[in-house]
Structures are given as C-alpha cells and as structure tokens.
Amino acid sequence: MVFVGLALVLFVTFVSVFLFLMPRPSAAGALLHEVTRPVRTGQVPAWRAALNVDYLAKPFTLGRSLFAPAPDPILVRRLALAGYRKPAHADIFLGARLALPASGGLLVALFASNNAITYFILAVGLGFFVPDFWLSWAINKRRDRIRLSLPDGLDFLAICLEAGIGLDQAIVRLARELRVSHPDLADELLQVNFEQRAGVTRITAWKNFADRVDLENVRSFVGMLVQTDRFGTPISKSLGSFSDALRVERRQRAEEMAAKTTVKLLFPLILFIAPSMGIVLIGPAVLTLIKNFEQTLR
C-alpha cells in the first residue's frame, strides 16, 4: 500500500504540474490559428497539424528552465541526427524521461501484487532508458534511409546538371522530386538551400550537411563536391562515378548480409529444429525399444 500511495502521489503531482504550466491560448492566438488552418492542413496530415509541438513542450520548457537555461547540446545534436531539429523536441524528450517512469511506477503499483518492489524498480528504470533506446534506433534508421536514397538522388542530380541546370537549382529540383520517395534526403537538401539563401557559402553549407547526417557516404560525397568546386572539374561525371560506386557498395553490403544468414541460422537450427527432428526420427525407435524391454522383463 505504501508503494501504491507513493505512485499515486507522484503521478497526480506530475499531472497537476503539467496542467498548471500548460499555457492558455489567447484570443489573438486562437484567431491566428483559425486563419492559418487551411494552409497548415493542406501541407501536412491532419493529425500532425493538430499536434502543436511548441505548445506541447511549453510546460517541459518552463520546468527545464528552472535548472538549465538551454537544453543539453549533446541531446540536441542526437535529436538533430534523428531528424528532430526544433528546440521543443529536446524539452519533450526530457519530459518523456520523467513521464514514462512515473507512469510505469503507477501501473506496477496498481496491478502488481507479488514482488512489487522489484517490478517497481524495473519499471522506473526501463521508463527512464526507453527514450534513449528509441532515439538510438531512430538515428540508425534515418541514416540507413539516407544511405539507401543517396544513389538515386545522385543520378537525378547528374541528369539535371547534364541538362544545363545549375547546381543550386538542381538541388532544389531534386529536393522537390524526392519529397515523397525519400523525404529525409529531401529535407537535408532543402536545408542546404536555405543556408545558402541565408548567406552561408556553398562549401560551408555542404559541410554542415555532412555533419548533420554523420554518414561516411555523405562525407565522401561532400568531399567530392568540395574538390570539384575548388578545381573546376566536371561535376556530372564525378556524380555518375560516385553513384556507381555507392551502388556497388550497396550490393556488396547485401551480399555480406546474405552470407551471414548461414551462420545466424546455425543457432536456431541447433536449439529448435534439430531437437524436433531428433524427436520425430528417434522417438518411435526409443518407444519400440522401451516396449520390447518391458516385454522381455515380464
């Protein structure tokens, strides 16, 4: 009962603080939200338009500002690698680290009858580390998507350059064409274009692109662009050669993964399939021997 009371008090306190810190929309804000609704709902899905990240993060931002003036830079960079660049995302992530342990502890306190202390500690620990596990998974998945979409993007970019379009205009056209099939790469290319419009040099914008993605193939691609921009070599031929090299690497990676399947199948074969086959093949003979021994002993 002590743990149930403690979990209830913790959960009620967390919900009360969240509701107390939730900002109240003003009349002007509500009018602006209503006026811009057709534009926002036409560009993004309805469920994303209804979910205002900045509004949701306000209580967490106020709570975090009591301890630190800004979010952890390492956490901000990890969220950027996963594709979440808004400052509010860091506050929501920190709030999830507090909300999940409180919710897990409450559920254990309400439903666990035996070994409640052990389950309570496990629930609180898992609730605290689950956001980190999810963030690592999201970073790896986004890197894989960008790595797989890079050869197609380079082919399209080479076609645009051979057609006489400039590099900056080709980047914008590429980002628009890949918006549906490869949204992660399209967002990064649009970010490069936005930085150049803001006055950042082309080389610096491409290097920032490599730092944001933190992928070896992207670093090699950016290094090739920097060399072609400095020495004035034809970019389209370099892009074609680099795209072919990426496709060869992707095929080799697939062949490597296929070659590893024989070793990975060894463990389930030994643990599950081989015992079942042994029971099916040897079981009838063993039963026959047991029956014969029983008749002999009689």
Cα–chain center distance at 238: 31
Low-confidence ranges of the chain (pLDDT < 50): 20-22, 24, 35, 38-44, 46-47, 49-50
Closest to 250 in 3D by CA, of 215, 224, 217, 209: 217
pTM to 2 decimal places: 0.68
Q: At what angle do helices 235-264 and 116-162 cross, to 10 degrees?
A: 150
Q: Are 10 and 103 in contact (CB under 8 A)?
A: no
What is the reported pLDDT for 162?
Answer: 83
Q: Write the pLDDT tens digit of every residue in 121-180.
A: 888 888 888 889 999 999 999 998 988 888 888 888 888 888 888 888 888 888 888 888
Is residue 228 a contact partner of residue 154, using CB atoms and an 8 Å limit? no
> Taking a C-beta distance cutoff of 8 angstroms, is the pair 14, 124 a contact?
no
Measured between alpha carbons, how far is residue 169 from residues 25, 172, 174, 228, 261 in Å? Answer: 41, 5, 9, 17, 44
- Both tokens of 32, joined, read 């602006």
Q: Which two tokens stand for residue 244?
A: 């072919």
Buried b or exposed e, range 250-268, using 16+ CB within 10 angstroms: eeeeeeeeeeeeeeeeeee
* pLDDT value of residue 137: 92
- The upper half-sphere exposure of residue 45, i.e. CA atoms within 13 Å in the direction of its Cβ, equals 3
d(CA 49, CA 147): 29
Please count the other Cβ atoms lying within 10 Å of the Cβ belonging to residue 81: 21
Contacts of 196 (CB under 8 A, 6+ apart): 168, 202, 205
Specify the pLDDT at position 169: 87
Q: What is the pLDDT of residue 44?
A: 46
